[in-house]
Chains A and B, each alone.
Chain A
Amino acid sequence: MKEQLQKDFDNTIKNLTLSQRDIEIKKFYLDNFINKGFPNRKEEDWKFSDLNQIIKKNIGELSFYSDYTFTNKVDTSAFVDGLEHNKIVFINGRIEKIDFDYEKKDQIEIIDQSETINKFNNNSSLSDLNSAFTNKSFKIVVKKGYQLTKPLIIYHTTNSKIWSKNINLRLNFELYENSSLRLIDLFRDTSEKNFLNIFYNFDLKENSILKNYKVDKFENKNIKYSFNNIEQDKNSISETFILSSGSNFCKNEINCNLNGEYSSAFVNGIFSINNNKHHEIRTIVNHLTENTKSYQLIKSVLEDSSKAVYQGKIFVNSQAQKTDGYQLSKAILLNKDSEFNAKPELEIYADDVKCSHGSASGSLNEDSIFYLMSRGLNYQQSRELLINGFLLDVVEKITDPEVKNLIKNMIGIKE
């Protein structure tokens, strides 16, 4: 893999206009990645999902170079109907379109950061890989007091033109005081056997609100890793919703630093997977000052030989008195070969806190099915009704009505 990395790296560098110093920095990250390699089960964070093995088994040899000189045609029919929205379109990892048509132009700033290397607050090997190979990266700034009228949808589209490729994406968001942003990540893949490595950084200033909805719904054979780092100032709110369903393997990591008083973080997630899929959500919420709040709810429905993993951590340092931290994960195993692993973790150094977690996994309740069947539903209908109700609980946590409807339609949950 080393030669491949080196070769692909040289090719990538050629197409960029970087200063000697920046090339050195990128090289440094490359060397870091070469040393560490893909994470494996020996690392505590990857204990339940050995990425190294998964890539080997599903993809085999990866190539890290993508030719971005040609534009891809943007297929407008793929856009979401019935909801006016701003767009960013990635096709095979290349940014094809950034469009904030519905917003005041002077309130949003898009800064091309491709030619600056910004450090990411994470020293995993995947962040090294990302830093070494990202080809274009943008920073999106929402100005003071501006609230976007329409949501922003980021289309992550891949098509059959790519095969066994590693794609690295990076976006930075900065939300100034009193601003707000609704962001939907929509994955549409028709490609197979690629590895997507996505890093987002969010900087939330005082009183700002971020709502991020990640929807991976369409069946595909890709492997995805996504890392969200969220820095939160006083009074800010972040809401993250993850629908983890389509990809062969998908790991979402959310790292949330509650730096300012009265800031709060909400993470809700659904695993709805079948076949041999293997999905993971890992969250770390760091309560770093007084009066902060976090809430997490993760529900899973597992069919066939699928496997879901939830690793959630609430960290409370000794200054963070009056912290409120809550975490709940529930799983329904529908098949004898399905598997659910959880590691809900509390690390607490302050005494005046209320922290709790709960985790439950098991089969569908036969008594409930019996109840519904005795009222005239057949087995299949009863089962669907129960599963829908189970998952609806999480969808109902979505605070934005437009997006809630969109996601409900997508999953096919009826009320």
Chain B
Amino acid sequence: MDNRQKEIDNLKDYKYGFTTDIENTRAPKGLNEDVIRFISNIKKEPQWMLEFRLKAFERFKQLKEPDWQKPKYPKIDYQDLYYYSAPKSMKDKPKNLDDLDPKLLETYKKLGIPLQEQKRLNGIAVDAVFDSVSVATTFREELTKQGIIFCPISEAIQNHPELVKKYLGSVIPVTDHFFATLNSAVFTDGSFAYIPEGVRCPMELSTYFRINASNTGQFERTLIVADKGSYVSYLEGCTAPMRDENQLHAANVELVALDDAEIKYSTVQNWYPGDKDGKGGIYNFVTKRGLCKGKNSKISWTQVETGSAITWKYPSCILKGDNSVGEFYSIAITNNHQKADTGTKMIHLGKNTKSKIISKGISAGFSDMTYRGLVDISSKATNSNNYTQCDSLLMGNKCGAHTVPYIKNKNSESNIAHEATTSKISEEQLHYCQQRGLSAEEAVGLIVNGFCKEVLQQLPMEFAVEAQKLVGISLEGSVG
């Protein structure tokens, strides 16, 4: 009995909640021009990059924090945050993994992301980002052979300035909304990937984000460019220690797909959600936007959102090229006092563009979940199609599930279809499962997995298994 209880407790707890005790280099607290110069300086950035940041900061000062979202949060004091924090040992970049701080290696081992060669997951190249710096990127040589560039963005700024200059800010300009502009001003690290013309990336690329330092905001920036006729599948994972205070995570992710290229971007987001009374947890205010720039290009977002105290993001597709395709598959689970306001935007600009949105929301406990989405077919997007389906599942009468779709059709030759349902797990289904020997919790797990299946299927294999487990764990304790 004791053992079983322990096992359940283990499952219920957030198992990535530990802290790594490591010495940090930090920027001075607060947000001002000096801090931005400090970040730019420590990254040894060229002048144009600093100008990019300062331009964003100028704009940021004029912006007002938005407040139209459903989950409200106490005002964030942007002067009371550290905008840069890195392990001291990272100051002089270690040349290889043997030089890397063992504590860091240990951290990633505990997270289940082994960085050492022999233990690496086959077929996945990992860029590991710890607070504000990238600590290691694996499989680089093998990728370089094919001409694929996969490295931390700070390295890309130095080594491939022509690419970064061309594409950085081309999808999310410095003049964008509040959090995106803040990111443009103070972003620290993140991943950069470039897939050359006609190359099909032989392995999954992935970035693993870890927040460790307290009082620190993480602002990473990811830029993926798929040149003509290329293909890449990209994974993103994230965890953070358990802390009583809320931490801000405001990343920008930009995707650019040229003619005939395809980008598949999958996220399993498992930031610390706060304890069961709603104390602590991450504010996940991320801007993700993909541009289908070329003809026949395709961008597909898949997300499994189980963590964070507040999730507030809308991965979007701008379908500019003719015949381009945008997809969005999402599972969002909120439990206890978690809140989520998430969805997508599909902006149809080119002819014959297609988009598909499948969103599954599950809320339990005292949580609140909102699907908010926009489908906009402009007058020039002839013969375009959209299909949207968003289903919500409610567990208990203390939680909420909301659907707020905006649907704009300006083209008579285009079709939009939207469906949404909200319900609970039916007694009949539960009864059926229990009759066949499953416990109430197992039955709920099974039904929820079935509910999510359409989205889980879209994930790459390794991720799908993890996500499926995560879905089960997130709902632990919400039944009965």
Contacts and interface: CB of A to CB of B under 8 A. Distances in A.
A binds B: yes
Interface of A: 44, 318, 321, 331, 333-363
Contacts of B424: 351-353
Contacts of A362: 409, 412, 414-417
Interface in B392-434: 392, 394-424
B24 interface: no
A160 B64 CA distance: 48
Interface of A is mostly: strand
A357 B391 CA distance: 10
Given A331-B409, A340-B409, A345 B396 contact: no
A345 B403 contact: yes
Nearest to B368: A349
B423 to A, nearest CB: 6
A389 B351 CA distance: 30
18 contacts: A321-B397, A331-B409, A333-B412, A339-B409, A339-B410, A342-B418, A343-B407, A346-B403, A351-B397, A352-B397, A353-B422, A354-B422, A355-B421, A357-B403, A357-B418, A358-B418, A361-B409, A362-B414
B388 to A, nearest CB: 9
B379 interface: yes
Given A334-B412, A353-B423, A361 B396 contact: no
Nearest to A352: B424
Given A336-B379, A358-B420, A349 B413 contact: no
B422 A355 contact: yes
A114 to B, nearest CB: 40
Q: What are the 3 closest A-B residue pairs judged by CB atoms, nearest first?
A: A362-B415, A333-B412, A351-B394
Given A342-B407, A345-B404, A351 B420 contact: no
B408 A339 contact: yes
A311 to B, nearest CB: 10
Contacts of B409: 331, 333, 339-341, 361-362
Contacts of B407: 340-344, 359, 361
Contacts of B422: 346, 348, 353-356
A359 B416 contact: yes
Interface of B: 68, 379, 392, 394-424
Contacts of A333: 409, 411-412
Contacts of A343: 404-407
Contact of B394 (A331, A340, A341, A348): A348
Contacts of B403: 344-346, 357
A48 to B, nearest CB: 8
Given A360-B415, A361-B416, 12 more contacts: A334-B412, A343-B404, A344-B403, A344-B420, A345-B402, A348-B422, A353-B394, A353-B422, A359-B405, A359-B416, A362-B416, A363-B415
Contact of B396 (A340, A348, A351): A351
Contacts of B412: 333-336, 338, 362-363
Contact of A358 (B394, B399, B413, B419): B419
Nearest to A44: B68
Nearest to A48: B408
Contacts of B415: 360-363
A337 B412 CA distance: 7
Contacts of A350: 394, 397
Nearest to A358: B419
A347 B406 contact: no
A340 B397 CA distance: 35
Contact of A318 (B398, B402, B410, B420): B398
A356 B379 contact: no
Contacts of A356: 419-422
Contacts of B416: 359-362
Contacts of A339: 408-410
A357 B411 CA distance: 22
Given A331-B409, A335-B412, A341-B408, A359 B392 contact: no
Nearest to A302: B412
A345 B414 CA distance: 22
A351 to B, nearest CB: 4
Contacts of B396: 351
A350 B415 CA distance: 33
Contacts of A336: 379, 411-413
Contacts of A353: 394, 422-424
A336 B413 CA distance: 7
Nearest to B372: A345
Nearest to A316: B422
B402 A360 contact: no
Given A333-B411, A342-B407, A348 B420 contact: no
Given A357-B403, A361-B409, A346 B420 contact: yes
A348 B424 CA distance: 11
A44 B68 CA distance: 9
Given A321-B397, A351-B395, A361-B416, A344 B405 contact: yes
A359 B357 CA distance: 14
B339 to A, nearest CB: 13
B314 to A, nearest CB: 16
Contacts of B404: 343, 345-346
Contacts of A354: 421-423
Given A333-B409, A333-B411, A363-B412, A349 B417 contact: no
A356 B418 CA distance: 11
A360 B423 contact: no
A349 B414 contact: no
Contacts of B423: 353-355
Contacts of A359: 405, 407, 416-418
Contacts of B417: 358-360, 362
B212 to A, nearest CB: 37
Contacts of A342: 405-407, 418
Nearest to A315: B402
B202 to A, nearest CB: 41
Given A318-B397, A346-B403, A348-B401, A363 B419 contact: no
A361 B377 CA distance: 11
A346 B419 CA distance: 12
A337 B395 CA distance: 44
A336 B381 CA distance: 11
A321 B99 CA distance: 61
A304 to B, nearest CB: 11
A334 B395 CA distance: 43
A343 B423 CA distance: 20
A351 B399 CA distance: 8
B385 to A, nearest CB: 9
Task: Point out which of B406, B409, B418 has the most chain A C-beta atoms below 10 A from its C-beta.
Answer: B409
A294 to B, nearest CB: 13
Nearest to B401: A348
Contacts of A321: 397
Contacts of A347: 400, 402
Nearest to A360: B417
Nearest to B70: A347
B398 to A, nearest CB: 7
A348 B405 contact: no
Contacts of B399: 349, 351
B426 to A, nearest CB: 10
Contacts of B413: 336, 363
Nearest to A365: B415
B397 to A, nearest CB: 5
B336 to A, nearest CB: 16
Contacts of B410: 339
A357 B371 CA distance: 13
Contacts of B402: 345-348
Nearest to B403: A346
B418 A348 contact: no
Nearest to B408: A341
A341 B405 CA distance: 10
Contacts of A358: 417-420
A119 B405 CA distance: 33
Contacts of A348: 392, 394, 400-402, 422
